[in-house]
Amino acid sequence: MSKITDRSKEPSRGGDVLMRALGLDYDRYAPSRLSWDYEALMREVGLDIDRVAQIQREVFVGGTPLAELKNITELARLIAGPGKGARIFLKDEASNPTGSFKDRRASLPVYFAAERDYPGVVAATSGNYGAAVASQAARRGLKAIIIQEVYDSQMRGQPESLEKGRACESYGAEVQQLTVGPEVFNTVILQILEETGYFSASLYLPHSIAGIETLGSEIATEIRGLCGRDPDVVLVTHAGGGNITGTARGLARVGCAAERVAVSVDLGELNLHDDALFSRKTFSTGHTGYGYPSLYNPESVDVPLNAARPLRYIDRYVTVSQGEVFFATEMLAQLEGLSRGPAGNTSLAAAFCIAQELDRDQIVVVQETEGTGAGKLHTAQITFARENGVRIARGDPRQEVAGESIVIPDHPRQMSVHEVDLDVFRRRYLQAQVTGKGMDGIDGLEVDYLAQEMGLDREATLRMLQDAGIAVSGRVDGG
């Protein structure tokens, strides 16, 4: 395992490097200055969902258990009003080979690389995805290089990422661990890809998203088999956007119209790449430091066009506090006998609250869990926070201040969700993607594209464009 702090070398032909490393001609999907053909990019996978599931079964991925959390449901009903308290189910993705849904996400990029005779794969990750890529590469007989952003300038490492780095090495991967900074995407990956000729197994390939679609389809199919109906709400922990995108597409493939609720840990607007704050963030992913930017700036990744488009697929977005996630972690362990890591428990914390809004005959599904280990246990994360100056307390979690304190509830009645106004991020999307790029007007076809991107109908999109002072030329009636 190597630690990298000097990232000054950058390949001179980044576009050519990516073209060779991805095997995709992204220019085919970008017909105009703004819009591009998202569904055509997704069709590049060239596999139907049954074939994807078959490929995943060959490498022990998918088909994970669906558990009804009867004890947690009963607790929610004790707190909720009469007749309230939906049934809570959990899709236990910790049963995948490396303990998370990221095995689904890694399965197709590595399969694709093996089919096209690449000698190895490269992936950037904070943790789970790297282990998944390393595991899949071992199964397919490929080499793997995993790049992690782990340390601040004082070489203090996030416990989750350190643990997953060790896991990657156990699968035979080379692990390169970096200090905090944006260069991991725009410099280091390009350099390694140019030197090795490996395939870039990016989190944001269409193949990566298609691998998650089986998770959405399994949830709908299994709930139908158990309950004779569709779930009412599916909760998905949201960071970079791939989880909600793939799950929503999988639900749609089998005709399930459940409400799709994205959930993040509320770290406010803390800058993910601020070295002074890096070690004061208890969670390495599943938080607003990734969740917010992925809504309005999805192309800020390691591929030219990002297949993860969260604004297209989120029906409702809520946040919970760090302390509430730790409370949910202990609740799952002590009431259901399941010790699971923080990512899925982010959605579980929200599910516990949202179930209390719904009738008892309704169904809520927590879409994923992740396995635990030394760095994934909440005790390790709390210790890391305390060692880096974060105050740990019991009390009202609404008093928590990101980067300064973690407040664990005294009682489950204190748990709640905070609603995120998606229109705020739709306006930020327009600022970043239209006005921020110097466009003083758009045409009717671009209106259609923006409607899809922002998850709105055409009329609502036109109103938002008008409010933003963005002129529309040509026909705007869909003609």
pLDDT of residue 144: 98
Asked whether 206 and 307 are in contact (CB, 8 A), the reply is yes
Bridge-based pairing of strands 441-443 and 316-320 is unpaired
pLDDT at residue 374, rounded to an integer:
66
Q: Give the N- to C-terminal CA distance of the chain in Å, as an integer.
A: 57
Q: At CA 267, angle to CA 266 and CA 271, rounded to 5?
A: 145
Half-sphere exposure (CA, 13 Å, Cβ side) for 335?
17
Query: What backbone torsions phi and psi does residue 102 show, to the nearest 5 degrees?
Result: -65, -20
Q: Which whole-number Å values give the CA distances from 357 to 287, 323, 362, in the listed order?
A: 24, 21, 10
pLDDT, tens digit (0-9, with 9 covering 90-100), for 297-351: 999 888 999 999 999 999 999 999 999 999 999 999 999 999 999 889 999 999 9
Provide the pLDDT for residue 381.
Answer: 86
Give the pLDDT of residue 12. Answer: 43
- The reported pLDDT for the residue numbered 127 is 82
Reported as a single tens digit per residue, the pLDDT across 352-379 is: 999 999 999 999 999 999 998 767 788 8
What is the residue-level pLDDT of the chain in tens, covering all 479 positions?
554 444 344 444 467 888 899 989 898 897 678 999 999 999 999 999 999 999 999 999 999 999 999 999 999 999 998 999 999 999 999 999 999 999 999 999 999 999 999 999 999 887 899 999 999 999 999 999 999 888 877 888 888 888 888 999 999 999 998 887 655 656 788 899 999 999 999 999 999 999 999 999 999 999 999 999 999 999 999 999 999 999 999 999 999 999 999 999 999 877 666 666 777 777 778 999 899 999 999 998 889 999 999 999 999 999 999 999 999 999 999 999 999 998 899 999 999 999 999 999 999 999 999 998 767 788 888 998 898 899 999 999 999 998 899 999 999 999 999 999 999 999 999 999 999 999 989 999 999 999 999 999 999 999 999 999 999 986 555 44
Residues 331 and 72 sit within 8 Å (Cβ to Cβ)? yes
Element (H, E) at 291: helix 288-296
Burial class (CB in 10 A: 0-12, 13-18, 19+), 443: middle
